[in-house]
Amino acid sequence: MKWILLLLPAFVTEVNAAEPAPYDYKIFQRKFDSVYVLPAQCDPRRMKWSQTDCSNDKVSAARRFSEEWKALSYWDGRSVIDNPDADGRVNTRP
């Protein structure tokens, strides 16, 4: 009887735990596209940066977004959420 009682709390804790953030590419990409802000230097009418620099900026932002995603900055345990603080970190340029 003691053995069954010891397993029960572990089972209950596991059932009530928040779900992990989804790693579905479509969800991840849709959220990144809504968060990423194209720098003014990459505006097609002005193009102050080269195409390579603009591409590198987006790749760097995607890496920062991935780190925020892993840290659950965009996940409340049940659904994808907005997080202005994390958005700022993603769009920070060195």
Helix (H, G, I), strand (E, B) or coil at 55: helix
pLDDT of residue 65: 97
pLDDT of residue 23: 74
pLDDT of residue 9: 44
Q: How far apart are CA 94 and CA 32, in angstroms?
A: 19
CB atoms near residue 27 (< 10 Å):
14
Would you state the structure tokens that stand for residue 91, as one six-digit string? 């769009």
Q: Provide the residue-wise pLDDT of the chain in tens; the chain has 94 residues.
A: 444 444 444 444 344 456 777 778 899 999 999 999 999 999 999 899 999 999 999 999 999 999 999 999 999 988 999 999 999 999 998 7
Query: Residue 1 to residues 4, 7, 8, 11, 13: CA-CA distances in angstroms?
Result: 5, 10, 11, 16, 20
pLDDT of residue 17: 54
Beta strands of 10-59 (E only): which ranges? none
> What's the gap between Cα 16 and its chain centre?
23
Q: Which pTM does this prediction carry?
A: 0.74
